[in-house]
Amino acid sequence: MKKLKQHTGETLAEVLIAVLVMVTAFVILTGAVVSAARINDRAKIKDASFTADGNRSIQVAFSGSGSDVSTSVSVRLYKDEDNGYYYYDHN
């Protein structure tokens, strides 16, 4: 009688390589999630330091070709707490 030899299934080397690939992918994805969380935290901190100083009205003057025109424009003033810069947002 002939002995039955089955050559189906995975070898130990194939299983180890598959596990190594899965662990590598897991480590990369975990690093990406942690990095995204840190970036979000920094953005929240930056957003909190970028406060609105309130609505203001500024006077804008246009001049040219012999006529001068001035008008008021309503803007929202923001101040960045880190560097002290002011930013304007047109309403």
Q: How many domains does the chain have?
A: 1
Q: Kindly report the pTM of this predicted structure.
A: 0.44
Give 45-70 as a DSSP string.
HHHHHEEEEEEEEEEEEEEETTEEEE
What pLDDT, on the 0 to 100 scale, is given for residue 68?
Answer: 74
Residues 33-90 have pLDDT tens digits of 999 999 888 777 665 555 555 556 666 667 667 777 777 777 777 777 777 777 777 7
State phi, psi for 61 to the nearest 5 degrees: -115, 135
In a domain, 3, yes or no: no
31 falls within a domain: yes
Cβ atoms of 73 and 57 closer than 8 Å: yes
pLDDT band (50, 70, 90) for residue 6: low
Domain that holds residue 40: 12-90
Residue 56 domain-assigned (yes or no): yes
Q: Is residue 2 situated within a structural domain? A: no
Note whether residue 7 is domain-resident. no
